[in-house]
């Protein structure tokens, strides 16, 4: 997207921000005075969620100081445009560290760790409870978005005959898309949740759970409907809005995560048949400013520094200490070792693997995804060996680099694993590490191809299209891994596609749901999270099994590896997150998930 179009689009989203803030505040105040004083402290925390459940109409007997009343809220097309635009801003909430949700989730799995957020650490360790703030933020913000969507859908008919009917229909479809998108997130992590599709009075706000399968059916139905309405693409001024492809992509994802293989494959194939999307040839560039206009991107959160509330701090959280980052969110040693060698064979079996040069002859996606010791990262020599007390700074003049103190080796808060995440780190944010305006991808064509492949494999309908989908990803020019030959068994293909999801989608927020879907979370999450050896390299390759589980017990110098965290996973409860306790207390009809 060109910057002019980006500015116009995000400015439109935020024009209506002040109205939303005021409307939320008015509702919160009205709910507050209705609660008994002896439960005041408890209910204030829950006020937002009650709004999110759809009790929007209660504030409309008061006229906002800067906005319209019930009779004229959607008085014209322009005003509705602003309100719908505001949904996209609300959708892109940041549950922790001023980062989009999908860039935080993988750090609560076997492939990453978060140093800065204790509640996210608790999720990773498996000792989180129903008072966990990270989980509560996701629940609360999700229902806040749902409440806004329901308010629009309840009132949009007031503009019948008063605006362009096609635009009115499209705005309704966009709103339904966003609501379905949020419900898809909720059932992925919580299972069954309250399914609220219209505004509720306060008396009706105590909604029980709807079974996960029923919510999933609602999501699929909604997305099928809106896919028939939403356009395939937009002009430059509307880039970032929900499209037909976005609706089908989220539908395919929701179907896959719920074991509906034929539905997942069908929706993914519809996207493939649109002939609109294509894999970006340069994998690393895809996650930078130069990749924002890529045909691979189906849906992305839009950011703009001009609106200071519409930025994120991903750059600072991922960057090394030398580059003025905090290295808060980092990859583990196991994900580094899980990437194949360039011959397509795991490091414990490949003749191309050299323990003395462990990052040579590896799947190029390893180096695109993770900053590796011995490489240049954000203009600095990146080396985390504890004896490397100085390093090169190339950031100002590469022909005349400066030798500097190596904070990545000697700083107590340098990366605990010895590695850094590299996706969404762009040198263009050098002066704005806490105010990045780099768009964050939520759905891309490679994921669609992997959904198609996995769904076809699980339904045992393997044909050449499955191999083509996998191989097109493996053989994009910047990756160029060996093609998977035909003739594989279902089990072999299952192993391949699961590995490809890790290599391709690492640090994009899919890992936990993938492990849950495959019923492997209790295997991968019940283990020690390691970083690299502070003053050396692994003496041998670890053992890697068919599931891609990395085991270091055979490594001669395993005891020298840095232990970051001891992880546990209780299969009787951790396959779901707990519903926040405040919701259970304030809604007597809401049943807690097992084990919490």
Q: Read off the pLDDT of residues 485-503 as tens digits, 9 standing for 90 and up.
A: 999 999 999 999 999 999 9
* pLDDT tens profile 224-240: 999 999 999 999 889 99
Tell me the CB-side half-sphere exposure of residue 520, using CA atoms within 13 A: 18
Phi, psi for 263 (deg, rounded to 5): -65, -40
**Residue 327, H or E segment:** none
Q: Are residues 315 and 426 in contact, defined by beta-carbon separation less than 8 angstroms?
A: yes
Provide the Cα torsion 492, 338, 455, 594; round to 10°.
120
Taking residue 29's Cβ as centre, other Cβ atoms within 10 Å add up to: 13
* Euclidean distance between CA atoms 306 and 412, whole angstroms: 35
* Euclidean distance between CA atoms 499 and 514, whole angstroms: 11
Taking residue 292's Cβ as centre, other Cβ atoms within 10 Å add up to: 21
pLDDT at res. 79: 93
CA angle 377, 382, 383 (to 5 degrees): 165
* Euclidean distance between CA atoms 419 and 319, whole angstroms: 10
The structure tokens 């990270």 sit at: 134
Phi, psi for 315 (deg, rounded to 5): -55, -50
* Euclidean distance between CA atoms 172 and 257, whole angstroms: 26
How many whole angstroms from its chain centre is CA 528?
A: 24
pLDDT at res. 145: 97
| Structural domains of the chain in order of their starting residue, each with its CATH number | 3-233+579-586 (1.25.40.390), 314-435 (no CATH)
Q: Are residues 241 and 300 in contact, defined by beta-carbon separation less than 8 angstroms?
A: no
Tell me the CB-side half-sphere exposure of residue 491, using CA atoms within 13 A: 2
What is this structure's pTM?
0.89
Closest CA to 269 of 442, 461, 457, 469: 469
* Euclidean distance between CA atoms 454 and 265, whole angstroms: 8
Helix pair angle (165-190, 244-257), 10° resolution:
20
Task: Dig out the tokens for 540 from the structure.
Answer: 């041998």
pLDDT at res. 74: 73
Q: Are residues 215 and 175 in contact, defined by beta-carbon separation less than 8 angstroms?
A: no
Q: Are residues 27 and 96 in contact, defined by beta-carbon separation less than 8 angstroms?
A: no
What stretches in the chain show pLDDT beneath 50?
Answer: 3-5, 7-69, 72
What are the angstrom distances between the C-alpha of 487 and each of 29, 341, 484, 495, 530?
Answer: 65, 22, 9, 14, 37
pLDDT at res. 527: 95
What are the angstrom distances between the C-alpha of 15 and each of 82, 115, 173, 419?
Answer: 7, 35, 21, 40
3-state secondary structure of 434: coil
H runs (alpha helix) in 411-537 = 445-458, 464-474, 490-505, 511-517, 521-524
Cβ within 8 Å of residue 273, ≥6 positions away: none
Q: Are residues 331 and 337 in contact, defined by beta-carbon separation less than 8 angstroms?
A: no
pLDDT at res. 395: 82
pLDDT at res. 61: 31
Phi, psi for 301 (deg, rounded to 5): -75, 135
Closest CA to 277 of 98, 451, 42, 55: 451
pLDDT at res. 134: 97
């Amino acid at each position: 997207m060109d910057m002019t179009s980006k500015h116009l689009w995000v400015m439109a989203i935020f024009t209506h921000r002040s109205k939303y803030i005021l409307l939320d505040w008015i509702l919160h105040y009205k709910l507050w005075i209705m609660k008994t004083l002896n439960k005041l402290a408890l209910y204030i925390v829950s006020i937002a969620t009650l709004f999110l459940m759809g009790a929007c109409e209660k504030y409309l007997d008061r006229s906002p100081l800067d906005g319209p009343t019930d009779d004229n809220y959607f008085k014209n097309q322009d005003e509705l445009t602003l309100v719908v635009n505001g949904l996209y801003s609300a959708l892109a909430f940041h549950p922790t560290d001023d980062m989009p949700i999908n860039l935080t989730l993988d750090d609560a799995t076997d492939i990453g760790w978060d140093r800065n957020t204790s509640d996210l650490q608790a999720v990773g360790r498996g000792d989180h409870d129903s008072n966990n703030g990270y989980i509560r933020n996701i629940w609360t913000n999700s229902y806040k978005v749902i409440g806004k969507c329901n308010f629009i859908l309840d009132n949009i008919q007031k503009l019948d005959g008063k605006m362009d009917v096609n635009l009115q229909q499209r705005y309704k479809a966009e709103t339904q898309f966003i609501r379905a998108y949020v419900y898809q997130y909720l059932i992925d992590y919580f299972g069954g949740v309250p399914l609220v599709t219209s505004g509720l009075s306060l008396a009706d706000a105590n909604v029980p759970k709807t079974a996960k399968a029923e919510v999933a059916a609602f999501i699929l139905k909604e997305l099928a409907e809106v896919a028939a309405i939403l356009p395939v693409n937009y002009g430059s001024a509307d880039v970032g809005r929900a499209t037909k492809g976005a609706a089908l992509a989220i539908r395919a994802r929701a179907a896959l995560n719920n074991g509906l293989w034929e539905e997942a494959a069908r929706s993914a194939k519809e996207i493939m048949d649109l002939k609109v999307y294509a894999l970006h040839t340069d994998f690393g560039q895809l996650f930078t400013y130069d990749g924002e206009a890529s045909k691979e991107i189906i849906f992305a959160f839009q950011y703009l520094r001009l609106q200071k509330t519409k930025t994120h701090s991903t750059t600072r959280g991922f960057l090394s200490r030398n580059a003025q980052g905090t290295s808060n969110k980092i990859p583990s040693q196991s994900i580094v070792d899980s990437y194949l060698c360039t011959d397509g064979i795991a490091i414990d079996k490949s003749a191309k693997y050299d323990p003395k040069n462990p990052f040579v002859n590896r799947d190029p996606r390893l180096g695109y995804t993770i900053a590796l010791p011995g490489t240049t990262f954000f203009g600095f020599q990146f080396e985390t060996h504890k004896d490397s007390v100085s390093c090169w700074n190339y950031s100002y003049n590469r022909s005349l680099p400066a030798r500097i103190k190596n904070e990545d080796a000697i700083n107590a808060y340098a990366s605990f694993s010895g590695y850094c995440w590299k996706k969404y780190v762009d040198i263009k944010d050098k002066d704005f590490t806490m105010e990045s305006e780099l768009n964050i991808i939520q759905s891309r064509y490679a994921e669609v191809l992997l959904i198609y492949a996995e769904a076809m494999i699980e339904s045992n309908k393997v044909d050449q299209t499955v191999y083509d989908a996998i191989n097109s990803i493996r053989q994009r020019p910047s990756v160029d891994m060996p093609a998977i030959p035909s003739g594989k068994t279902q089990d072999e293909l299952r192993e391949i596609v699961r590995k490809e999801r890790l290599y391709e989608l690492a640090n994009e927020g899919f890992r936990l749901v993938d492990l849950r879907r495959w019923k492997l979370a209790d295997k991968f999450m019940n283990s020690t999270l390691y970083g690299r050896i502070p003053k050396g390299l692994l003496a041998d390759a670890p053992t890697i099994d068919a599931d891609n589980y990395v085991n270091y017990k055979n490594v001669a110098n395993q005891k020298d590896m840095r232990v970051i965290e001891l992880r546990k996973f209780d299969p009787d409860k951790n396959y779901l997150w707990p519903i926040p306790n405040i919701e259970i207390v304030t809604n007597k009809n809401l049943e807690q998930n097992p084990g919490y």
